[in-house]
Amino acid sequence: MSFVFSTPRTLAVEDWRPVAYKEWQLVAEAMARGEQSVLLRKGGISEGKVGFQWLHRAFFLFPSRFHEQAEQVLSGPNGDMRPFEAPADPEGDVSFRYYTEIQNCGRITRWDEVTKLAPYHIWTEAIVRERFEWGDEPGLAWATVRTWRLAQPWVLADRATFGGCRSWFGLPADEAGGWRKALEGAEFVPSNCGEPDWLVGETTI
């Protein structure tokens, strides 16, 4: 039986250095509504020869924005295409609205096991298959996660380090009130889709 932390565990760590993880905006929104509890990643050129790695156990979500993602995820709960609307951030600023913690993570190399994860994410099978088969060896990095919705967005000035194709990047610990203030009052999002209890891994991060 897994224990649900209703308060972000990071708040108990004095010297945590905040980081962000890039994910599709529509996926981040699904996580913040309890519609997704698994992350799947393949990695790319920017990840180097070792491929993508779960380098951090806790992170803010940085939603990546491109209109085509609406066609590459499943329909919303009402059966309609999920609307893609970029948040109206002030010019030169970036708003962080969601925080996530990894419960377990690992690598999955069998397609029949990947298909069993379908109830726990919103990507189409075609997109997941494309990621699975990309590169020299089939497989995906996976993580079961839990998400919090910030009471107020943590608004930071945009900067060059937020750009590029990297999956991870650091955030300024003390800017705009600091990460601790940003997480205070964050609302835990219960999972409406459940979690894949059969997927067990050893989290070493």
pLDDT in tens, 27-43: 999 999 999 999 999 86
Q: Return the pLDDT at 2.
A: 44
The answer as to whether 198 is a domain residue is: no
The answer as to whether 173 is a domain residue is: yes
State how many domains the chain has: 1
Q: Return the pLDDT at 64.
A: 86
H helix or E strand, kind and range, residue 153:
strand 140-157
The answer as to whether 79 is a domain residue is: yes
The answer as to whether 141 is a domain residue is: yes
- Dihedrals phi, psi of 128, to nearest 5 degrees: -65, -40
What pLDDT, in 10s, does the model give residues 177-197? 999 999 999 999 999 999 998
Low-confidence ranges of the chain (pLDDT < 50): 1-3, 45
The answer as to whether 78 is a domain residue is: yes
> What residues are paired with 41 via a beta bridge?
141
Q: What's the angle, vertex CA 196, arms to CA 60 and CA 51, rounded to 5? A: 55
Domain span at residue 87? 15-189
The answer as to whether 3 is a domain residue is: no
The answer as to whether 2 is a domain residue is: no
Q: Return the pLDDT at 3.
A: 46
Q: Return the pLDDT at 131.
A: 92
Entry pTM: 0.90
Q: Return the pLDDT at 1.
A: 36
> Residue 57 is part of a domain; what is its CATH number?
2.30.130.30
Check: CB of residue 80 under 8 Å from CB of residue 175.
no
The Cα-based distances of 75 to 78, 98, 107, 117, 190 in angstroms read 8, 22, 27, 17, 20
The answer as to whether 9 is a domain residue is: no
Check: CB of residue 31 under 8 Å from CB of residue 147.
yes
Q: Return the pLDDT at 188.
A: 96
Q: Return the pLDDT at 137.
A: 85
